[in-house]
């Protein structure tokens, strides 16, 4: 079986995040692609967070309800709890209390070192029974024991 991989045509592993994906730029979500999902996958979950935030792990994006037949998310997923096009999905609330993606902001970075942003895609063995706008702790509880595999893309900002 192929390795479960998450990539982006817009950014490479451990490289800088282009400004258009930051809150100071266009604040659009980056395009993501994946391959090698394990057999038995019924849904994908994506979480983007910054573990280097002064306050601890800071969640920038939660996407769930991604059909197992999907292999990508386009650039600029609409900022809404329910998205019908171009891909059907639901989005949770990030640390800004908003549904959808919110990119890094220059004023949130107090440390001299750049922050790492982890985009993690989880292959789940059952569909999440959560309403739109779920929070990370609800996602964590609902996915317990249902993660088949995880693929990761780390970028720097």
Residues 85-130 pLDDT 10s: 989 999 999 999 999 999 998 755 555 568 999 999 999 999 999 9
Q: Which residue in the block uniquely carries the two structure tokens 């100071």?
A: 24
Q: What count of other Cβ atoms lies within 10 Å of the Cβ of residue 42?
A: 14
Which one, of 47, 45, 41, lies nearest residue 69 by Cα? 41
What's the pLDDT band for 134 if we cut at 50, 70, 90?
very high
Residues 59-91 pLDDT 10s: 999 999 999 999 999 999 999 999 999 899 999
Domains of the chain (ranges; CATH) run 17-32+57-146 (3.90.280.10)
Q: What is the pTM of this model?
A: 0.94
For 51-138, strand residue ranges (E) read: 58-67, 72-73, 82-83, 89-91, 116-124
What is the distance between the alpha carbons of residues 10 and 90, in angstroms, rounded to a whole number? 23
Predicted pLDDT at 60:
97
């Amino acid at each position: 079986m192929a390795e479960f991989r998450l990539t982006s045509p817009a950014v490479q592993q451990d490289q800088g995040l282009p400004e258009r994906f930051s809150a100071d730029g266009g604040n659009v979500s980056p395009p993501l692609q994946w391959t090698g999902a394990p057999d038995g996958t019924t849904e994908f979950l994506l979480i983007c967070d910054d573990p280097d935030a002064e306050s601890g792990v800071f969640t920038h994006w939660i996407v769930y309800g991604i059909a197992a037949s999907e292999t990508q998310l386009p650039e600029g997923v609409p900022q809404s709890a329910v998205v019908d096009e171009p891909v059907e999905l639901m989005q949770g609330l990030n640390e800004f209390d908003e549904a959808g993606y919110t990119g890094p902001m220059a004023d949130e970075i107090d440390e001299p070192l750049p922050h790492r942003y982890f985009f993690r895609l989880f292959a789940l063995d059952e569909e999440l029974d959560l309403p739109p706008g779920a929070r990370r702790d609800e996602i964590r509880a609902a996915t317990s024991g249902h993660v088949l595999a995880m693929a990761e893309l780390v970028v720097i900002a």
